[in-house]
A and B are shown apart, each in its own frame.
Chain A
Amino acid sequence: MRRIISTFLLLGFLLGTCVLQSQEIAVVDAKTGESLPHVYAEWTADGERHFAVACEKGIIQTDEMNPPVVLTLTYVGYKTLVDTLESVPSQIKMTPSEYQFQEVVVTGQFTPQSATRSVYQVRTLDREEMSAYGARDMSDIMVHQLNFRPRQDVRMGTTSFSLQGISGNNLLILLDGVPINGRTSDDFDFGQISPQQIDRVEIVEGPMAVLYGSNAMAGVVNLITRRSYEAGWSISAQIHEESAGSEYGWNKGTHNQSLQIARNFDSLPLTASAGITRNLFHGYQGDFKRAMLWKPKEQWIGNIHLQYRPQFWDISLRVDYLNEEIFAPGEPVGTVRPIALDDTFEARRTFYQFQAGRSLPEFGRIETMFAVTDYEREKIQKAVNLNTGSTQMSTAEGAQDHTSLFGFQNRTVVNYLMDEKLSAQMGYDFEYEKISGGRLIDGHSRSLYDLGLFLSFEKRFSELLSLRPGLRYSYNNQHSSPVIPSLNLKYDFHPDWQFRAAYSHSYRAPSLREMYFEFFDSNHRIIGNENLIPESGRHFNVHLSNRSLNIAGNPLQLSTEVFYNRIKDQITYGRSTQNIQNTTLINQSLFKSQGFRFRADYNWNNFRFSPSFALTGRNNIYSQESEDMGFLYSPEAGLSVRYRTDDRLWSFALNYQFYGEQPVYGIDVEDISQEVQLASVDPFQLLDLNVSRKLWSDLRLTLGVRNLLNVTDINSTPAVGTIHPFGDVEYISYGRSLFLTINYSLNK
């Protein structure tokens, strides 16, 4: 109510003074010349402080201003201007700040809209921000996002993440709004995404299970590819060279190349683009004699994208292709007669998506999407006699196999804007999956389909309060079908402050992989479990953030969140009761996580500082008989610093992330009593620095250090349910490395 009154007062003030006065200053954007409404002006005259707010036309009334005077102008998204005026000018230009706060987001929205208006808390990484990491692949970027705890699997050369203490299985990854979770591996591998092909990343923190279904318990990461180009040809090429620790050379280190070409046909509403990326990593041996601790890996990632956008329509066709080969040489087995087993893992994935959307004036929008995933994974094992060099195909159990997955998805969403205050979103999604190959229990191929219907309303009760209730019904051909509700609330209790709350149920049926997959390699023996039951969760979070506070003339943005997740029958890894050497999937009785997150962004001159902190508590209740051991908390902190010179020629980035000690309950193999003990995973920190220089207008050179603190591995104790010896090692990196990125982009 107070807000409304103050708005009226302000309006009255503005209306009353906007056009009449003679002494006035027009504030405009320095680049475009557009007038800037609501700019805040402050000056001191005769020992008294005065202030004024520009009207809609960007005009500031300055009656009491007697030069010389020091004038300060502040406006969100623009550099704060402080100037001593000898006379009152008729126009002042403001320069947009380096860092935009007014992000437009699409994930889960009725229409693309400003992040501050969304009922979901959405964080965006734009292209510029992504380039500040000097990333080899997407995982280098995600590693520095708060609450994304990485887990490196050196055996397989993959990186997965947990969010809010919830494993990657419950984190949904979208490519242009279409789920792409790699369902044949443990978790989605961000290492298979090339940042060159991504324009923007939207991270929704909080449950979105009603809208997106099964995997969206912890959150959604939407990878949005580039959609708009200037007319004519655009070319972007990048070469990334990086050492592996101190190793670098023709056959050492990382050598990545990427090329993107786009054509925007001026005469037609048509854009075509294509890109190809090759990532080549030569591996890092570590202490092995012949094997490699970090496996050599080569990836070819390609895409073709056509967009046709006549009036009201938005039609796009996209094909993404990945070919990945990981080579894992074996240690010599034997002394006098050594034989080594060399594994090659090949993965090929083609992902086709067709999307069509039509805006319906006065009604809303309708969108439909079809996607097909074709995935193949092959393991080839060769036995090499190291005395004679002779190589034969291995006949050992599980030495060779081939798995393929076919997936089809269709999703249609209708956004109906009933009136200014009420909109509805309804739709369905259908998913069909089939996996076949030698890895399946009994060797049969299996299939699964899933149909979801969802409906949600967003009611804006006033400018201040929005509510979004939603419902989802899902039908799965193998499991029960509950109805799950959600409720989101957004309340702008202050012009600058937003409060959001979300409550949602979630439901996830076990995937085919979890039920039927047999996964054998040198150090994984994971067997699916047909008797798994679906997970069901309850998620709650509240979020407080502001648009921009003005601290000493510089904008400060704060955001803080408290979350609670409770997942019943969570599907997790456990020991097989059939064979001790196997790991299987089990329903853990109860998993809970709770914690809070805090993040600030502060701009000061050409700097931006973003400190962040999170505390995540996890509580695993293994079986119904197990005692509730309470929450175990681990902290996380981050700091990113960005600096850019006024002329934008130089920029500097620092990315620091601290992962605190992670307590876990474990069982010591050597302990006779076999009692569950409190142990921990050691803390570690990652610090990257880079400096970037623009040469001419099209070329940018970036030189950086990754993992400056040279963290390689930490001691860890795995969670309850595995009978791992204490003192196990979790690998973080191969050590401090240097990189150089050369980026060329013609047109934008």
Chain B
Amino acid sequence: MLRNLLIITMSLFLFQACSSDDDNGMTDDPIISDPVLLDAEVGGPDEPHVVYIDLPTATQTIVNRDSWDLGFYSGDDGYYVILNQGAYVMAQPLEINDMTEVTAEDTVGMIEQMDQFAIFNAVLEDPRPNWLPNSVNWIDNSNGNLSETAFEAVVADGASNPVHIVNRGWAIDDSPRGWLKVRVLRSGNGYELQYAEIDSESFESVQIEKSASHNFTFYNFDRGVMNVEPPKDEWQIAFHSGLALFRFAGVFVPYAFRDYVIHNRYDVEIAEVLYDEEDNVDIVEEYNNLRYEDVFDLDFQSEINTIGSDWRTVGNPQFGGETQVNDDRFYVVRDAEGNYFKLIFAGMLSETGERGHPSIQYELLEP
């Protein structure tokens, strides 16, 4: 179970190495007050890893991005299921509430549609297929709003929870992960997960508990419950390659982003400090000049994709532009404890010019 979980402590310190008695990321570690330059170990050009970063301790938690399928919400305010955008998982509900009634006939046409590459090709077709605008509903809203997930919210009335068709997406090695029919019900203070191959007349049933310490309980259909996210008060931002909504040639579609950054929904908020591109400010100087007093003028956002892909531009012959770390902005992160960190994206290439080597610099702001 721990195979995919790897904890790396303090990959790089620019200004000083900080002493740290690594006791598995307990929150009473002292907060590093010196500037930190950190290389997120996303794993090179294909970015196979999701990297969760704990700013106070400069700790990264590294997980393969295809290590789970579904996440079950642990909060007290509802019962929700999220999809692993990192494995390009997609889902849509059927109007059937009985697992055994679903057959291959109920999925006719889906394979040609509910798939990352199928959507990609459809964008290019002329004329575009009518189903294309529906594709936004097959992934969770990238802003993290749980009322806009692809899965229907799990309701108390068991009979009302529909069967969903799930495309498990693509593994890191580009192999397809298969299709399933899935139904989720409430069960006690947790969930009952029912799943089977589409044509199967029987199904598996698994009990999933809510977690007191984590935002979600993550489930892999092949391997069961997985450790993915660190405890909810031990990370603030994550590099999370995978599907997010992208306005592409006029339509919103799921698009496989690299370098995508999300933040923790558990009391973390982020403000973007944005300058007019025309002003050509020296962004590093502006970042250095920001003081604790300045953060109270900022507009903090809770949408988990506040950073998203906006921190960089990828040059492309179709859309133009130069590949760059956007040098008109940096960020301020407020963690669940109320600490403020200013954070600037430092770089995105390795010393040998490869993509998939993002780095951040950040610093605790003290009164």
Contact = CB atoms under 8 A, between A and B. Distances in A.
Interface of A: 291, 331-339, 341, 381-383, 385, 390, 392-397, 399, 522-525, 575, 577, 579-581, 583, 622-623, 625-626, 667-674, 722-725, 728
Contacts of A728: 320
Contact of B37 (A336, A399, A670): A336
Given A333-B348, A339-B353, A341-B353, A724 B320 contact: yes
**Which of B37, B324, B345, B349 has the most chain A CB within a 10 Å cutoff?**
B349
A525 B349 contact: no
Contact of B315 (A337, A522, A722): A522
26 contacts: A332-B324, A333-B323, A333-B324, A333-B347, A334-B346, A334-B347, A335-B287, A335-B327, A336-B347, A336-B361, A337-B359, A339-B350, A381-B353, A382-B353, A392-B353, A394-B353, A522-B315, A522-B322, A523-B316, A580-B248, A583-B318, A622-B126, A669-B319, A672-B250, A672-B251, A723-B318
Contact of B353 (A396, A577, A667, A672): A396
A417 to B, nearest CB: 54
A312 to B, nearest CB: 55
B345 A335 contact: yes
Nearest to A724: B318
A724 to B, nearest CB: 7
Contacts of A336: 37, 284, 344, 346-347, 359, 361
Given A334-B349, A334-B359, 20 more contacts: A333-B325, A335-B327, A335-B345, A335-B347, A336-B37, A337-B359, A341-B353, A383-B353, A393-B352, A395-B354, A396-B352, A523-B315, A579-B120, A581-B317, A581-B318, A669-B319, A670-B250, A671-B250, A674-B251, A725-B320
Interface in B105-129: 120-121, 123-124, 126, 128
Contacts of B320: 523, 724-725, 728
A383 B325 contact: no
Contacts of A381: 353
Interface residues of B, number: 40
B317 A337 contact: no
B78 interface: no
Contacts of B344: 335-336
Nearest to B126: A623
A334 B45 contact: no
B2 interface: no
B289 to A, nearest CB: 14
Interface in B255-288: 283-284, 287
Contacts of A522: 315, 322-323
Closest 8 CB pairs of A and B: A334-B347, A383-B353, A394-B353, A337-B347, A336-B346, A395-B352, A339-B349, A337-B346
A575 B351 contact: no
A395 B347 contact: no
B232 interface: no
B355 interface: yes
A395 B353 contact: yes
Contacts of B126: 622-623, 625-626
Given A335-B345, A397-B45, A669-B249, A583 B317 contact: yes
Interface in B33-76: 37, 45
A523 B351 contact: no
A291 B327 CA distance: 16
Contacts of A385: 351
A399 B124 CA distance: 28
Contacts of A581: 316-318
A332 B327 CA distance: 10
Nearest to B128: A674
Contact of B318 (A334, A390, A393, A575): A575
A205 to B, nearest CB: 33
B346 A335 contact: yes
Contact of B349 (A333, A668, A724, A725): A333
Interface string B304-347: 00000000000111111011110100000000000000001111
Contacts of B287: 335
A394 B126 CA distance: 38
A673 to B, nearest CB: 7
A577 B250 contact: no
A115 to B, nearest CB: 43
Nearest to A342: B353
B353 A674 contact: no
A394 B357 CA distance: 14
Given A394-B352, A525-B317, A581-B316, A335 B250 contact: no
A392 B45 contact: no
Contacts of A394: 352-354
Nearest to A394: B353
B318 A337 contact: no
A180 to B, nearest CB: 28
